[in-house]
Amino acid sequence: MSVRLVKAPVNMAFSQLGENKEEFLVEYRELSENTEDPVSQWLKLARAKGETVDTDPILLSLIVELHRKVDALERSFKDEKPKRLPLENEISIESIGFEHLKLSQDILQEGVEYYGRVDLPVYPKRDIAIFFSAIDKSLAKITKMHDKDERDWGAYLTSRERLLIREARESRE
């Protein structure tokens, strides 16, 4: 089977599904776009009511992100950490595709299903919850990801691909 992958320096924590499948599904839902922080919920409600029509969308996004950072600093000062399930493995992802990922080490078991949190460098920075199935010891097929996360994953993949094409073109010149 031929899978198109692009080199992408991304980190991930993951565990086998096993008996914890329900717990992983709960966390997956919590990390979804539906259970965002209070500022994002307020913004969605304001947009739905039409209260942001006369507002510059870029400026509004930046202000919301600043508010998130202030909230993160506040949590840091209070030594509050997000409640996340402990995952058995942490590893670097070597390369990604639209539906696949390749790990930097051969640690997967073929045919086994896993749950993972990917530290995807997108704006705003966040963890992306995924379910995936091992094709071989390092290659996996993503079986479940939220719609918004899929779009961000695809956008990150495309930007990495453009960067690699530019670098290849510059090295030939």
| 1 domain-assigned | no
Q: Phi and psi for 30 in degrees, rounded to 5? A: -65, -35
pLDDT, position 33 = 56
pLDDT > 80? residue 66: yes
pLDDT digits (tens, 9 = 90+) for 67-115: 878 877 887 788 777 778 889 999 999 999 999 999 999 999 999 999 9
Amino acid identity for residue 82 in this structure: P
| 127 domain-assigned | yes
pLDDT > 60? residue 148: yes
Residue 46 banded pLDDT, cuts 50, 70, 90? confident
pLDDT, position 139 = 96
| pTM, full prediction | 0.76
Of 128, 99, 106, nearest to 10 by C-alpha is: 128
Q: What is the SS3 assignment for the chain?
A: CCCCCEEEEEEEEEEECHHHHHHHHHHHHHCCCCCCCHHHHHHHHHHHCCCCCCCCHHHHHHHHHHHHHHHHHHHHHCCCCCCCCCCCEEEEEEEECCCEEEECCCCCCCCCEEEEEEEECCCCCEEEEEEEEECCCCEEEEEEECHHHHHHHHHHHHHHHHHHHHHHHHHHC
Residue 137 banded pLDDT, cuts 50, 70, 90? very high
pLDDT, position 89 = 95
CB 93 within 8 A of CB 10: yes
| 31 domain-assigned | yes
Alpha-carbon 122 to chain mean position: 8
Alpha-carbon 136 to chain mean position: 22
pLDDT, position 36 = 57
- pLDDT > 70 fraction of the chain, expressed in percent and rounded: 95
pLDDT, position 1 = 62
pLDDT, position 129 = 95
Domain count within the chain = 1
Range of the domain at 162: 6-172
